[in-house]
Each structure stands twice: as structure tokens, then as C-alpha cells.
Amino acid sequence: MKRTMISGLTCLTLSLATLVVPTGAHAATKIGATCKQPNATSTVNGVAVKCLKTGNKYTWKKVAASTPAALPTSFSDLVANRKGISQAAWTKVNQSIAKNTSKVGTFDIHTGPNTKPYFDDYPKPVALVSKLFPTIKEAASNIVIRYMFKDLAWAETKVKELLPASEIERLNRDEGGRLLTSNCDSSQKTCFGSKQLTTTNGINLVLQGVPETMYPNDLAGKDRFYSGMLEAHEYFHSLQRIPTQGIGIQQKDYPPVWFVEGSAEWVQNAAINNGDLKKYRNFFDLDCQATCKKLSKADIAKILKEATNSYWPKEYEYFLNYALGSLLVESLVSITNPESIMKIYDELATKIGFAAAFKNIYGIEWSAAIPILSEAVYLNLQGK
């Protein structure tokens, strides 16, 4: 019996070898020789070759070796090494997530009786965000309320069950009287928005609208709702609020909206796609939906000069806060580290304002950084 088994395995191995490497297969592979499988790759004396079309036939052609892009290290070489921005930022994300542990507190998740979330593994994305910011304080308690339009009344009742009346009154006042309904479009009868709020006692509260269907013109919608990006995005907002909670910073001193939302947009992409550089890069294209590429360098500079936390230049689409903002934030991370975008809030807690905080973190005046950021992001968007 033992002999029979060994003999059978030997025959199987020989058969596989014959199938995988037929006699003479490599002998015919040489530069200029005819090949049959388009885009097939091989090597000739250590040189990479590819089966490419030449006239009416396919031949083996030498593949030019790609030179790795130089990585930026500071504002002084950000433009020159702009092609390495994504690689630099993404690598730092991987290093952080690989070596750190999650500090996420408890999660109390409530889902409407008629609501069907597209993603239902909440611990996974928030743990990735936590690992990305190992020294940042996080909420000890988190409450999530998820609802479709048909469960809007249920969601309002649930909020009343979970929070004291005084807290609801404060939150509702801060949200212009639309604590839950602002996430919804009554004319379309769908709840497409989500928001993160922090209670006076430090609870992270996420009110998450769940749309009945995806908007067809939102190319990034599937990634956002199916992968955990939305959950990562809102959880990061809770981290942004903690350093300045109860300090009373004036709105004019708070970061511009492109930094607030762009940071969360970059974090959701970086956390979820931490293991896949191609997907990480592709999401930027989907998120911008080509609109970013229509911006001139002067447009980007104008946005950076004029946008504040409460003002956005009306000639530009508001969603650029997210899409363009994430590219700007990525540039900042590429020359420092992910935690730099949170250290801004520690600086703000000393009531010094965004421009001064920016200089303390990145070592350059905000006014001097604007043209550099604008040029680096613009040239990358144009593929130059």
C-alpha cells in the first residue's frame, strides 16, 4: 500500500511538470519571436519581455523597467517628488496599522426594523482607524443609530430612549432643528447622509442614514457604502472633536472645511485600502469623478486661500471639500505621518488658530504652503 501511494504521487508530479513546462517552451521565447498569447510575460536572459502586437502579429518585446518614483520628504521637494506622494502616504499607513493595536471603546449599534445596511461589520473599519492613530484619545462609548427613510420615526424615538431631553435639545439646536431629518431627502424619500456628533459627556453619536438605492452618478458610492469607508469616515470625525471638546474655540480659528472633511475622506480610503495600493489610488479617481481634473492650479490656490470652516467659494462644487481635500491631506501625510493631521487639533486646543497650528506641525507658513500644495496636487491630477 505504501509503495502504491508513493508511485502514484510520483506519476502525478511528473504529469504536472509536463503540463506546466512543456519541452522547448522557453527556447522559443526570444525578443522578436512570434508569440500567441497577447500580454503574456516571460524573461529572456533575465530581461522582462511581453507578448505585444506588431503589425498583424504578436511578438515578444522588451519591457522597459519602471523607475520607482522618488518620495517627498518636505515642502521643499513636494512638487519635484509629487509622483511619489501616494506611495509615501500609503506606505506610512501600512506601517502604522501593522504595528499598532486598536483602542476602540464599546459600541452600541441600533438598526431600524426596516433598515438593511449595506455594510454590517462595524468593528473592522473603526479598528483600522484606531490603529492608524495610536497616540490619539478615543471615545470610551459609541452609539450608532442606522435608519432608512421608512424608519425615520423609529430613529427619533430611539434617540429619545438613549439620550436625556436636555442633550437632544442641544444637539437639535446645533443642527438647525433637523437632528435626524437633515440626513434625508423627503422628496426622494431616502436618507443618504450621515453625521457624527459628540455629547456633552463625551459619547460618540453617529446618526447614519441608509439609502434605499445608490445614486447612479455617485461613482464612489459602492466603495463608500459597501466596504466600511462610511463607518471609518464618521469614526474619524469623533477623533477630530475630542481635543477641542468644551474649550470654546471660535469658528474662524477652526480648520477650513476642506481639511476637516478631506481628512476624513482620506482616512476612510487609507484605512480600508491599506493593503492594496491600486485600490487606494483608484478611489481618488472615482471620488473626484473627473471634476478635480478640471481645476486649474489657480482654482486650487483660490480654494485654499478663501475657504474657511463656514465659507466655501460658491463657484466650486461643495463635494470638492471631500474629494480634493483628501488629495491635499494626502500630500501633508506624505511628508510627515498620519498623526500629523490630528496633531493640528491638539495645537488648536491652545487657541492659536489654524494658520499658526499648521506652521507648528509642518514647519512652514500656511501662506507659503498654499502655492506648493496647489502645484503638486494640480500636476498629479493632470498626470504631469
> Tell me, what CATH number does 275's domain have?
1.10.390
Residue 234: name the closest of 109, 96, 373 by CA: 109
Model pTM score: 0.83
Q: 10 Å Cβ neighbour count for 1? A: 5
Instruction: Let me know whether 114 and 49 are in one domain.
Output: no
Residue 177 in grid coordinates = 432643528
Q: Which residues span the domain enclosing 312? A: 82-381
Instruction: Let me know whether 86 and 62 are in one domain.
Output: no
- CA quadruple 173, 174, 176, 177: dihedral sign: negative
Query: Which residues of the chain are modeled with pLDDT < 50?
Result: 1-27
pLDDT at 65: 65
Rounded Cα gap, residues 348 and 343, in angstroms: 9
Rounded Cα gap, residues 81 and 372, in angstroms: 12
pLDDT at 248: 86
Instruction: Let me know whether 134 and 51 are in one domain.
Output: no
Burial-class residue 69 by CB neighbours within 10 Å (0-12, 13-18, 19+). Answer: middle
Give how many domains the chain has, as a whole number. 2
Instruction: Let me know whether 232 and 331 are in one domain.
Output: yes
pLDDT at 28: 54
Residue 105 within a domain: yes
Instruction: Let me know whether 62 and 100 are in one domain.
Output: no
Instruction: Let me know whether 60 and 144 are in one domain.
Output: no
Residue 316 within a domain: yes
pLDDT at 173: 95
- Mapping DSSP to helix (H, G, I), strand (E, B) and coil, where does residue 43 land? strand
Instruction: Let me know whether 240 and 323 are in one domain.
Output: yes
- Is residue 103 within 8 Å of 204, Cβ to Cβ? no
Residue 307 within a domain: yes
Residue 328 within a domain: yes
- What H or E segment, with its residue span, contains residue 142? strand 141-147
Instruction: Let me know whether 250 and 348 are in one domain.
Output: yes
Instruction: Let me know whether 121 and 247 are in one domain.
Output: yes
Burial-class residue 284 by CB neighbours within 10 Å (0-12, 13-18, 19+). Answer: buried
pLDDT at 36: 87
Instruction: Give me the residues paired with residue 185 across strands.
Output: 190
Ramachandran angles phi, psi of 146, nearest 5° = -110, 130
Instruction: Let me know whether 54 and 136 are in one domain.
Output: no
pLDDT at 250: 87
Instruction: Let me know whether 228 and 87 are in one domain.
Output: yes
Residue 138 within a domain: yes
Residue 71 within a domain: no
